[in-house]
Amino acid sequence: MHQDVKLYARGITKRYGRRTVLDNVHLAVGAGQIAAVVGANGCGKSTLLRICAGFASPDRGTVQIHGTLGYCPQDGGTVDFLVPDEHFLLVGAGRGLSRGASRAAGRAGARALDWEPDPRVQARRLSGGTRQKLNLVMAGIGAPDVLLLDEPYQGFDRGTYLDFWQQLYRWRDEGKAIVVVTHLLTQLDGVDTVLDLTPAGVRA
């Protein structure tokens, strides 16, 4: 793997029962690049990200990650009875950060999305969009080299959605390799690679 390629997924094939969801998929993302994964509902976008993140195994193919990894799932990911700072501390501890550094990283990430977390409010009391902000902030704690973002903007209002793309461009400028699942094709001009997983027979 070339040093600058941070994520290299090669020949990924995944079947559920008799259904082939991913058929020999390749994706290489270098430092300072954004790859968008697009395609119809159910074509395997989340499955590919879960395989890249190590949460699911491919039937065939390999994934190489060069560096550390941050993952923002499509849903879930937060803990109902913990407040935002406690989420930051948990993720930061996993990355070897001190409590202070974890909290500071989380709060800075929240500010980038124009969000001032109320320190007393547990995740279960947050709105869906705010929980997704929390997920996204957690993915970025500890400055991972590779970011896998599975439709992280669901529930974001327009301002936050724009902040989200600005955050992506900042991460790209810092040299991170980013994979973002998206249905919103208007943003595709701003990305470096587009991987369309829609099966060939289904494409218009």
Ligand X SMILES: Nc1ncnc2c1ncn2[C@@H]1O[C@H](COP(=O)(O)OP(=O)(O)OP(=O)(O)O)[C@@H](O)[C@H]1O
Residue 43 near ligand X by CB under 6 A: yes
Give min distance, CB of 15 to ligand X, in A. 9
Residue 21 near ligand X by CB under 6 A: yes
SS3 string, the chain, reads: CCCCEEEEEEEEEEEECCEEEEEEEEEEEECCEEEEEECCCCCCHHHHHHHHHCCCCCCEEEEEECCCEEEECCCCCCCCCCCHHHHHHHHHHHCCCCHHHHHHHHHHHHHHCCCCCCCCCCHHHCCHHHHHHHHHHHHHCCCCCEEEEECCCCCCCHHHHHHHHHHHHHHHHCCCEEEEECCCHHHHHHCCEEEECCCCCCCC
Q: Find the binding residues for ligand X in span 54-83 (CB under 6 A).
A: none
Residue whose CB is less far from ligand X, 89 or 179: 179
Residue 42 near ligand X by CB under 6 A: yes
**Using CB under 6 A, which of the segments 39-47, 76-84, 110-118, 186-194 binds ligand X?**
39-47
Residue whose CB is less far from ligand X, 75 or 86: 75
Residue 45 near ligand X by CB under 6 A: yes
Residue whose CB is less far from ligand X, 3 or 204: 204
Residue whose CB is less far from ligand X, 36 or 83: 36
**Using CB under 6 A, which of the segments 43-51, 59-67, 107-115, 159-167 binds ligand X?**
43-51
Residue whose CB is less far from ligand X, 75 or 85: 75
Cβ neighbours of 201 (radius 10 Å): 5
Residue 131 near ligand X by CB under 6 A: no
Give residues in contact with ligand X (CB under 6 A). Answer: 16, 21, 39, 41-47
